[in-house]
Amino acid sequence: MSHSGTSHGTTGAAPRGAAGAAATTVAALLAVVLAPPAAPEPGPVDGDDWIELSLDEAQRASVATSAAQQRRASPPGPQRPATGEVSVPEGLITFPARELPHATEALGVAVEPGPGAGSARATPDAEDAELLVEARGARRDGGWSEWRSVPPERAVTPDGGMVTLPLRSERVQVRLAVDVDVTDVEGGSAQVSAVRIRPEPEDEAEGRGESVEAEPEHRSPYSARLFATRIGLVGATTANGHTVGSEDYFVALPSRRGLAERNSGNYTVRVCAESTQRCIYVPVWDVGPWNISDDHWNLDRENWVDLPRGLPQAQAAYLDDYNGGQDGFGRTVRNPAGIDLADGAFRTGLDLPTNSWVDVDYLWTGDYQHRGEVRTESRSDPVVLRSAADLSADDVGRAAHSAHVDIECRTTGTSVRGPDGVSTLWYRIGPDNYLPATFVDLVPADSERDPDPEADPDDLRIADCEQE
């Protein structure tokens, strides 16, 4: 999606481009949709330790946008010039999480074409691939690692492709981004007959040692100062299939690695504006601005690896003429935006009069003390944050429905009615950021990793806030 009022580019799934039709791509081979019930049983995949994922249970979403909102795929190299428009995915298939027989950091994923694909089984050029295969692993604190991609040219072979996860895990999840509207089960010229996963052999997995995330006792989330712009584009579709509303609370970051599924907040940011002294807690539901593979918050960033951590490529291009002042598509960068804010988050949450510099905490990059998921009865309206545990205290921001917040401590305050009934319990989730506990479902660590409305704060040992 391109932004009204700005020309800086991408916030949403990168939809189909206008050129590059001559290339043989994965999606041209598969034209992927979910297989209808009448499809024949898939053939065997090499090895007897594959785990087949259920296509019937997969969540499907169309992320296609109109021709006026076309995107182009980001080139793979850190300073690679734009290679022209190519067709890119328009549909998203997210499979339920699966338990593995043992913990692993290396996961094999195999995607088998259905009968409609005919004999077209050639290995495509990965640069033109229209099939994205991504996987992630569950964390000890009830959250997820970031997504990591499987080489598409390997994923469609019988042996599948191998992806290295950011941590060892016994629970994994896979999603596919493809080049058709996957909500039309009967449409398309071919089907995906099977998607299978398997961990590396247990002796090899044990040889890797502890998780790469098993570092200090508690890690604070990574923080960066970014230039924020407003998304706009009401009625368009985000990269996770959400339809943009006029009062939405979500953000876009320029990488799919931290893209949450629709209606989920497992990748949540805290955004604070010094100019208005307000903060918001909002999920990452879109990809952009400018680039789509610039996870600038990571040490092992996917692209632009010569830039310092926390410096978006577009910001470097605009302020320092990095890459000749161009983004990953070869476009002239016209502002240093590193984050996009949905209209409600921009206007009401932060009360910003115009595009501004903000401080961003990538909450999933730290260790949650006590993870909570914000819930509102409307499933769209945010919760008002107060400077103290009192409804008469200053309004200091918003926490979006589905946002995952880190509960620092608890205290008693004004009685509030919410989805979990009436309660005087409040949580502090950031400096002078309080919200009523009745709007928060706790996510116990080492549990089934689902929010638990019945979880007892006493059982989870949430500390009392110190009196100020």
In this predicted model, what pLDDT tens digit does every residue of 79-118 receive, in sequence order? 333 333 234 456 788 999 999 999 999 999 998 865 544 3
Per-residue model confidence (pLDDT) at position 317: 98
Both 239 and 104 in a single domain?
Answer: no
The pLDDT, as a whole number, for residue 456 is 60
Greater model confidence, 81 or 459: 459
In a domain, 213, yes or no: no
Query: Quick one: 253 and 159 in the same domain?
Result: no
On whether residue 7 sits in a domain, the answer given is no
Q: What is the pLDDT of residue 166?
A: 93
Neighbouring C-beta atoms of residue 127, cutoff 10 Å = 16
Asked if residue 8 is part of any domain, the answer here is no
Over the stretch 147-192, which tens digit does the pLDDT of each residue have?
999 887 788 888 889 999 999 999 999 998 876 555 444 433 345 7
Residue 47 lies in a domain: yes
Looking at residue 60, what is its pLDDT?
84
pLDDT given at position 190: 41
Q: Residue 165 belongs to what domain range?
A: 26-207
Please name the residue that has the structure tokens 């997210």.
94
Question: Has residue 214 been placed in a domain?
Answer: no
pLDDT of the residue at 56: 86
pLDDT band for position 468 (50/70/90)? low
> Is a pLDDT exceeding 60 seen at residue 10?
no
Mean pLDDT lowest for which of 122-126, 189-193, 357-361? Answer: 122-126
Q: Let me know whether 296 and 416 are in one domain.
A: yes
CATH code at position 263: 2.40.40.10
pLDDT in the model for residue 43: 34
Q: Do 201 and 307 fall within a single domain?
A: no
Return d(Cα 29, Cα 459) in angstroms, integer.
53
Are 381 and 418 found together in one domain?
yes
Same domain, 174 and 280: no
Average pLDDT over residues 6-10: 33
Residues 185 and 267 in one domain: no
Two tokens at 394? 């200053």
Q: Judge if 187 and 302 occupy the same domain.
A: no
pLDDT digits (tens, 9 = 90+) for 446-456: 544 455 555 56
Indicate if 198 and 235 belong to the same structural domain: no
238 plus 368 within the same structural domain = yes
Task: Specify the range with the lowest mean pLDDT, choosing from 68-72, 276-280, 307-311.
Answer: 68-72
Per-residue confidence (pLDDT) for residue 137, from 0 to 100: 96
Q: How far apart are CA 297 and CA 276, in angstroms?
A: 24
Residue type (1 letter), 306: D
CA distance 98 to 88: 27
pLDDT on residue 453: 55
Residues 86 and 200 in one domain: yes
Cβ distance 377 to 419 under 8 Å?
Answer: yes
Q: Which of 88-97, 243-252, 357-366, 440-449 has the lowest mean pLDDT?
A: 440-449
Confidence at residue 13, expressed as pLDDT on a 0 to 100 scale: 29
State how many domains the chain has.
Answer: 2
For residue 135, what are its two tokens?
């996987």
Q: What is the pLDDT of residues 419-445, one digit of tens each?
A: 989 999 999 999 999 999 999 999 876
Greatest alpha-carbon pair distance for the chain in Å reads 71
pLDDT of residue 463: 92
Same domain, 289 and 184: no
Q: For residue 314, what pLDDT is reported?
A: 97
- Asked if the structure places residue 400 within a domain, the reply is yes
